[in-house]
Amino acid sequence: MALSPAEFMMYSTTKLTGIKDGVKAGTGTGFYYRVKIGEDGYQFLVTNRHVVEGMTQIGFVAHIANERKEPSGALVGCVVNLHHSEILYHPEADLCAIPIGLHLQSMIDSGRELFCPTLTCKNIPPSEEWDSFDAIESATMVGCPNGLYDKVNALPISRTGNTASHPAKKYAGKDEFLVDLACFPGSSGSPIFLYDRGTRWNKDVGNFMSVGGYRFWLLGILYAGPTITTEGTIKMVKEPTFAVASMMHIGFAIRSTALLTIDQMLIEKMAKLGAAT
């Protein structure tokens, strides 16, 4: 079964439950990500640093694959022990990659292969694509706001809006951009995609043109949202505990290019391990 881009977005994203010393302590969103080095592939769950900080385990529900490598409809709860020395933490952004390769292999060894469509660096827009983006582009965020998701089918919630800052520009000089989407606790770590079909604005010719199918890129990862205090002050919040009425319905997202740093961190780590053997 070939997944549509929309189905791929849904199945590659999962609800995360932070567990601290055996007690559920919070929720977030993560997505499956794969780094290839030579012939080897390394599997991760990517989310925000603040989702896993202080946690001892992370839980998620995964789809079991059938003999055709498709989702069988059966689900399994997974709990991964967090060894923080093995997690790849981005040096600047609120972003991390949790290795889950051993857990996936243990599931295969037990006769239950998981269906985990993975994003890779190929889903990240190259520099020329970033330069071609218009001032306002469509944005689809997939995640679990307030922990809400389809429990029966273990699928996240999608929300569609648009970029709120120019995606081709670094917002406030950082590798970030804004999205015009309602962002709730539990949305942290949600992937944000550009997925549109039909036409796009061509900067070179100054007119609309057919995209010849569709555009599908991982634009970024949500990490925070501004709220308005009772005093009228705008405040940045990563783990909000606010009333809905105080939300600005704007989200701050890390550019997906930050994942390339994660890729490089793994390459350097594996090179050091190879040199030590």
Q: Determine the Cα–Cα distance for residues 75 and 186; give it in Å rounded to an integer.
A: 21
One-letter identity of residue 208? F
Given a contact cutoff of 8 angstroms between Cβ atoms, the answer to whether 174 and 90 are in contact is no
The string of DSSP codes covering 27-81 is: EEEEEEEEEEETTEEEEEEEE-HHHHTT-SEEEEEEEEE-TTSSEEEEEEEEEEE
Q: Determine the Cα–Cα distance for residues 81 and 59; give it in Å rounded to an integer.
A: 9
pTM: 0.89
Given a contact cutoff of 8 angstroms between Cβ atoms, the answer to whether 191 and 221 are in contact is yes
Q: Determine the Cα–Cα distance for residues 92 and 23; give it in Å rounded to an integer.
A: 29
pLDDT digits (tens, 9 = 90+) for 137-185: 999 999 999 899 999 999 999 999 999 999 999 999 999 999 998 888 7
Set out the domains of the chain in order of their start, with CATH numbers: 5-121 (2.40.10), 122-258 (2.40.10.10)
> Residue 127: left (phi > 0), alpha (psi -120 to 50), or beta?
alpha
pLDDT digits (tens, 9 = 90+) for 79-97: 999 999 999 999 999 999 9
